Amino acid sequence: MSKLKLNITMSLDGYVAGPNPTLEHPLGEGGERLHQWAVATRSFREMHGMGEGGTTGEDDAMVAAMFDGIGATIMGRRMFSGTGGPWGDDPWRGWWGDNPPFHMPVFVLTHHAREPLALEGGTTFHFVTDGIHSALEQARRAAGDKDIHLAGGADVVQQYLAAGLVDTMLLHVAPLLLGDGTRLFENTNAKQSGYECVRAIASPAVTHYTYRKSAAAQ
Amino acid sequence: MSKLKLNITMSLDGYVAGPNPTLEHPLGEGGERLHQWAVATRSFREMHGMGEGGTTGEDDAMVAAMFDGIGATIMGRRMFSGTGGPWGDDPWRGWWGDNPPFHMPVFVLTHHAREPLALEGGTTFHFVTDGIHSALEQARRAAGDKDIHLAGGADVVQQYLAAGLVDTMLLHVAPLLLGDGTRLFENTNAKQSGYECVRAIASPAVTHYTYRKSAAAQ
């Protein structure tokens, strides 16, 4: 069966976004610094049409492999659009332009129904209003024998963790101390304690930790 | 002037102790796993009279250098004794036996006055009842031109951080997810955001991060 794989960047003090997010700064104050390690890589620049250049090495390899073996993505509404509420007459089409880097079905958890949005390159956003179990079921059907990428944000990740549905976690820990913002490990019923670290790869910019459910927790 | 240097081990999800600490398990459930990286080293075994053996390498070098250039230590009452409250007739003499590994004056923040406790090897515990500023002043006098080691626990560290008095932080991050317990970065007025990482050293067991106050925060 498809595995649900969390892949997210966190500050060393546990935040996946800074305080006071706005449409201009959707990751909150200082939050964009979390992703500098990824943005600096060659693969990120290629994926996002930013032209030549960028770093190679472990961080680049992490970005390059991000969607390997992945057939569907799940994310929260705020990760898709920065805000909540009704979609309005000219609804937001995501942060990623006309040709998003997913190239697969993306299931967006929201309280507000909306028709699917098909963009270039095989990315279709499906808006799921009946909760995390439904989104996972739809993602499994879409992914076939591939796995499912759990992208964020914190609220959706916490719901999947608390429900015991996350199979692996790839945590990119940037050595930043944001001091405030949105914590990843909250409201999880401590379920993260059922995972063990099976791999840690350090670069100067970030350390990549892979966790699997420990035998006792399976 | 002496610098105040925090040196502490934290889980990847931000805890310096597990839940439900007792006298038998002063670091809480699962908390002793935090320190496995240190206990495994040759220097830790030497310091604590555990005999020959132990690992060498980066983790061992960290333990060996722990008290280099340090002339005084500050810690909280619970780190010294596991419990709070009056000292009683047969007061606790610390976790470290007759010859503790400090070999310097140690200032213990407590609400309950007590005469200094001089043990073998130059370690004297002084009990400070008038708060963190007083303890720091006394530690500075004792340290002379050396620096001051801030050992923990979380409550005392948070007070010094919130007051802007911590000069450097050496955080040993073990890739454990404890899920619950005592968080390090809480009640700090977000003061940790004024520090920048200047060094990160990874071993398979732990990553050692050194933080200094950033220019803007000084």
Across the interface, of A30, A191, A200, the residue whose CB is closest to B202 is: A200
Question: How far is B159 from chain A, CA to nearest CA, in Å?
Answer: 15
Q: How far apart are CA A15 and CA A179, in angstroms?
A: 8
Given a contact cutoff of 8 angstroms between Cβ atoms, the answer to whether B149 and B70 are in contact is yes
Question: How far is A100 from chain B, CA to nearest CA, in Å?
Answer: 31
CB contact under 8 A, A178 and B191: no
B203 touches chain A (CB under 8 A): no
Q: Which residue of A has its CA nearest to B179?
A: A190
Q: How far apart are CA A30 and CA A176, in angstroms?
A: 10
Candidates B185, B191, B211, B213, partner chain A, best to mutate (most A CBs within 10 A): B185
Domain B4-87+98-217 superfamily per CATH: Dihydrofolate Reductase, subunit A (3.40.430.10)
pLDDT tens digit string along A93-151? 999 999 999 999 999 999 999 999 999 999 999 999 999 999 999 999 999 999 999 99
pTM, rounded to two decimals: 0.94
Q: Give CATH for domain A4-217.
A: 3.40.430.10
The closest alpha carbon to A163, from A134, A129, A183, A198, belongs to A134
pLDDT tens digit string along B67-124? 999 999 999 999 999 888 999 998 999 999 999 999 999 999 999 999 999 999 999 9
Which pLDDT does position B82 carry in this prediction? 82
CB contact under 8 A, A12 and B171: yes
Question: How far is B192 from chain A, CA to nearest CA, in Å?
Answer: 6
CB contact under 8 A, A195 and B177: yes
Which pLDDT does position B203 carry in this prediction? 87
Which pLDDT does position A23 carry in this prediction? 83
* pLDDT over 80 (residue B217): no
Given a contact cutoff of 8 angstroms between Cβ atoms, the answer to whether B211 and B196 are in contact is yes
Q: What is the ipTM of this complex?
A: 0.92
The mean pLDDT of chain A is 95
* pLDDT over 90 (residue A83): no
Cα–Cα separations (whole angstroms), residue A206 to A11, A202, B107, B195: 9, 6, 36, 16
pLDDT tens digit string along A26-64? 899 999 999 999 999 999 999 988 889 999 999 999 999
Which pLDDT does position B100 carry in this prediction? 95
- Spell out which residues of chain B touch residue A192, defining contact as CB-CB under 8 Å: 13, 177, 179
Which pLDDT does position B49 carry in this prediction? 87
Domain boundaries, chain A: 4-217
Q: Between these two residues, B10 and A23, which has the higher pLDDT value?
A: B10
Burial track B189-214 (b if 16+ CB lie within 10 A, e otherwise): ebbbbbbbbeebebbebbbbbbbbbe
